[in-house]
């Protein structure tokens, strides 16, 4: 029941990451704003989620993963109510920022708790179920959002969170056990500030090109250098760069970056490619991407059982090989007009992108002390978001379908190379 309670709390985060995107036009219309302005509803969420992940993990390590997980649920609940009742853009934006911070507190601390309460031999299977839950949430988000907006309004996309979060909080209070915490250091506030400024500037450059200028690039460069040098000097850093000396940790973070880059590249590329000459309707494209997301969900769960059979390295290598083959088949979609072929190709891509994720997540924690599980999970989540951000940048450059597909093939091939770095259990 503890695992179910944790999964219920985390399930709401990916739903809100994808559900809101389908309601942007509705929000813009109701608030009489342009789409370029209303995209800040997504941008602020991305900034806070990206910046806060390592910080949230560190806070959990210091003050207790269960406690911070519960705080995250409460923040997400309150923020959802604020967004639901918002009658102006500023209120909605504040609500989304708090919602993102709550989500950032939930995810890495949920991962850390799963490590504490799960026997080592069952950890990969547990992360398979965790990956299935998260992917399923992302998959049903757009469909659920469209249904709620069609039947009621965009306010309903936030209202639906409330009963789920209340049940999640009560279940976590009842079933998730306390874990003894030994507070060994203070929170790295200077490092956290440098990290937040640098990463926020990067996300702004990526998502809001109107704000991009030389000053912002200088902030990124100076901030990144200052952050790394400061973190290497202090005793209890926000991000312990010594973790990257561990092969499994380093390979796991690079793998999830590449994996998520391909996944979001697909989600962003397909609507642009397939709707341009009206070969498929938006409904057909949405259904095909739902097939893609469901395949990721199912094979994330199945992948949790693979490692015990063929080993970690082979599981992740197999995942990237399948992904590479699927990316090569994307070139067929440039001229393909068969709906069946589209579904088959995206389903195979979903297999590759889902089946290796549980092993990647388990590998990111396998060589890390349990006391650092939160910060390690936060770093892993950040690399996941970086992969998504890279995909967004590449799509925004409008390189053309063939070039973008070639990039996705390269990502998958690099993933095969990276998978060779994993050590078996």
pLDDT per residue over 208-240, tens digit each? 666 667 888 888 899 889 988 888 888 777 777
Quick one: fold of 240-425? Growth Hormone; Chain: A; (1.20.1250)
- pLDDT, the chain, mean: 83
- 371 has pLDDT over 60: yes
Asked whether residue 20 carries a pLDDT value surpassing 70, the answer given is yes
In angstroms, rounded to a whole number, what is the distance separating the alpha carbons of residues 13 and 362? 20
Note the pLDDT of residue 183.
55
pLDDT of residue 60: 83
**CATH 3.40.50.720 correct for 1-186:** no
- Which long-range contacts (C-beta less than 8 Å, at least 24 apart) are formed by 39-45? 39/207, 39/208, 40/93, 40/208, 41/92, 41/93, 41/96, 42/207, 43/203, 43/204, 43/207, 43/208, 44/93, 44/96, 44/97, 44/100, 45/16, 45/17, 45/20, 45/96, 45/97, 45/99, 45/100
pLDDT higher than 90, residue 190: no
Average pLDDT over residues 411-416: 96
pLDDT at 70 (0 to 100): 94
pLDDT for the residue numbered 210:
67
Is the predicted pLDDT of residue 349 greater than 90, yes or no? yes
More confident residue, 257 or 365: 257
pLDDT for 396 equals 63
Whole-number pLDDT of residue 47: 77
Least confident of 128-137, 183-192, 337-346, 364-373: 183-192
Share above pLDDT 70 across residues of the chain, in percent, rounded to a whole number: 92
Q: Judge if pTM exceeds 0.85.
A: no
Q: How confident is the model at residue 330 (pLDDT cuts 50, 70, 90)?
A: very high
Residue 413 banded pLDDT, cuts 50, 70, 90:
very high
Residue 375 near residue 231 (C-beta atoms within 8 A): no
Least confident of 48-62, 149-163, 274-288, 318-332: 274-288
Look at residue 150 in the predicted model and tell me its pLDDT: 78
Lowest mean pLDDT among 135-139, 290-294, 299-303: 135-139
- 67-93 tens-digit pLDDT: 899 999 999 999 999 999 998 999 999
CA distances from 414 to 42, 106, 306, 420 (A): 30, 31, 22, 10
Closest CA to 18 of 128, 85, 87, 103: 103
pLDDT at site 212: 65
pLDDT of residue 277: 60
Angle between helices 373-396 and 40-63 in degrees, nearest 10: 160
pLDDT tens column, 234-272: 877 777 777 888 889 999 999 999 998 898 888 778 877
Position 282 pLDDT exceeds 70: no
pLDDT for position 44: 81
424 band by pLDDT with thresholds 50, 70 and 90: low
Q: Which of 143, 364, 385, 142 shows the shortest CA–CA distance to 259?
A: 385
CA distance 218 to 290: 40
For residues 159 and 39, the answer to whether their CB atoms sit within 8 Å is: no
The residue among 385 and 30 whose pLDDT is bigger is 30
Is residue 375 within 8 A of residue 238, CB to CB? The reply is: yes
Residue 352 has pLDDT above 90, yes or no: yes
Question: Per the structure block, which two tokens stand in for 357?
Answer: 């994720």
Half-sphere exposure (Cβ direction) of 344: Cα atoms closer than 13 Å: 10
């Amino acid at each position: 029941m503890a695992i179910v309670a944790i999964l219920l709390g985390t399930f709401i985060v990916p739903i809100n990451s994808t559900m809101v995107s389908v309601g942007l036009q509705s929000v813009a219309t109701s608030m009489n704003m342009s789409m370029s302005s209303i995209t800040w509803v997504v941008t602020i969420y991305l900034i806070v989620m990206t910046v806060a992940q390592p910080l949230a993990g560190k806070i959990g390590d210091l003050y207790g993963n269960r406690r911070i997980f519960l705080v995250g649920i409460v923040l997400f609940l309150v923020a959802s109510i604020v967004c639901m009742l918002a009658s102006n853009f500023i209120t909605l934006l504040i609500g989304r920022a708090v919602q993102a911070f709550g989500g950032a507190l939930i995810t890495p601390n949920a991962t850390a708790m799963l490590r504490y309460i799960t026997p080592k031999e069952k950890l990969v299977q547990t992360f398979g179920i965790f990956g299935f839950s998260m992917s399923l949430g992302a998959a049903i988000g757009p469909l659920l959002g469209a249904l709620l907006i069609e039947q009621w309004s965009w306010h309903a996309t936030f209202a639906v969170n409330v009963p789920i979060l209340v049940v999640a909080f009560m279940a976590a209070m009842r079933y998730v056990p306390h874990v003894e915490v030994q507070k060994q250091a203070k929170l790295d506030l200077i490092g956290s500030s440098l990290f937040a400024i640098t990463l926020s500037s990067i996300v702004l450059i990526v998502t809001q090109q109107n704000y991009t200028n030389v000053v912002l690039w200088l902030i990124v460069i100076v901030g990144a250098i200052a952050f790394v040098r400061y973190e290497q000097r202090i005793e209890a850093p926000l991000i312990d760069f010594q973790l990257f000396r561990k092969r499994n940790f380093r390979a796991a973070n690079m793998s999830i970056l590449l994996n998520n880059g391909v996944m979001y590249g697909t989600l962003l590329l397909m609507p642009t490619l397939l709707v341009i000459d009206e070969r498929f309707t938006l409904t057909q494209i949405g259904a095909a991407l739902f097939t893609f997301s469901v395949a990721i969900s199912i094979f994330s769960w199945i992948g949790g059982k693979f490692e015990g059979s063929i080993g970690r390295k082979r599981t992740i290598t197999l995942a990237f090989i399948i992904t590479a083959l699927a990316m090569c088949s994307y070139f067929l979609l440039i001229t393909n007009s068969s709906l069946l072929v589209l579904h088959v190709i995206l389903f195979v891509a979903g297999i590759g992108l889902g089946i290796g994720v549980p092993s990647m997540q388990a590998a990111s924690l396998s060589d890390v002390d349990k006391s650092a599980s939160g910060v390690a999970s936060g770093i892993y989540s950040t690399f996941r978001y970086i992969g998504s951000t890279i995909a967004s940048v590449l799509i925004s450059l409008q390189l053309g379908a063939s070039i973008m597909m070639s990039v996705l093939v390269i990502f998958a091939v690099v993933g095969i190379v990276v998978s060779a770095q994993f050590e078996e259990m």
